[in-house]
Amino acid sequence: MTRLAVFASGTGSNYDAIIEASQNGSLEAEVALLVCDKPQAKVVEKAKQNGTPAFVFDPKQYRNKAMFEAKIVEVLQEEKIDYIILAGYMRLIGETLLRPFEGRIINIHPSLLPAFPGLDAIGQAFDAGVKVAGVTVHYVDEGMDTGTIISQEAVKIEEDMTREDLQRAVQTVEHSLYPETIQKLISRGE
Ligand code: GAR
């Protein structure tokens, strides 16, 4: 069974969706590890309840990114992780982690990249007044939301939508697109 490490820093609704898909069999993979850089994050509590092993760390306890990423690599190798699934992990991945997992790190971003990279992509789209927002799943490289695109889905912004409505609509799409995309990669052996 393919072993996934989900990296998250926040609420963990995508973590939930991936867990659900792995339990109902639509995703032939196991969430073998949660990696979280925010000890107080809601997703940490969820992992505890689900029995997902977790590596939770405080970056301030390390001298620099290379130091905490080296520790993460150690844990990933111990857990024999096949893919790293970024799900709201709000940090750029550095060379220390990228090199050993090149081509096996995937991210979800709440916009139709290359539009609106970076923080608060949904707010950026809303403020720009575009009529179509969306979701992108892509491979991770050293840039900010710049790796090769794997899948995308559009979300229409209706006239009367609030920012919160858009957030909900985008996240609903994320929760099906992410597990489906991961399953496609696994079944193609990519
Ligand atoms: C998701 O909407 C994800 O697309 C976004 O963070 C949210 C995490 O939500 N990621 C980025 O913006 C990455 N640049 P969640 O904790 O409920 O899964």
Residue 76 vs residues 61, 79, 101, 127, 178: alpha-carbon distances, Å: 19, 5, 10, 39, 21
What's the CA angle centered on 72, arms 99 and 15, to 5 degrees?
A: 100
Q: Is pLDDT above 80 for 190?
A: no
- Ligand 1 pocket test, pick from 7, 14, 15, 85 with the greatest ligand atom count within 8 Å of Cβ, gives 14
> Across all residues in the chain, what is the average pLDDT?
97
Q: How far apart are CA 115 and CA 76, in angstroms?
A: 32
pLDDT exceeds 90 at position 81: yes
For 35-78, the pLDDT digits (tens) are 999 999 999 999 999 999 999 999 999 999 999 999 999 999 99
Q: Give the pLDDT band (50/70/90) at residue 121.
A: very high
| 12 marked as binding residue | yes
ipTM of the complex in this document: 0.98
**How many A from CA of 12 to the centre of ligand 1?**
8
Which residue's C-alpha comes closest to atom 10 of ligand 1?
Answer: 88
In angstroms, how far is CA 146 from the centroid of its own chain? Answer: 14
Class of the CATH domain delimited by 2-188: alpha beta
Residue 152 φ then ψ, to 5°: -145, 150
Q: Is 14 annotated as a binding residue?
A: yes
Q: Mind telling me the catalytic residues?
A: 109
Domain boundaries, the chain: 2-188
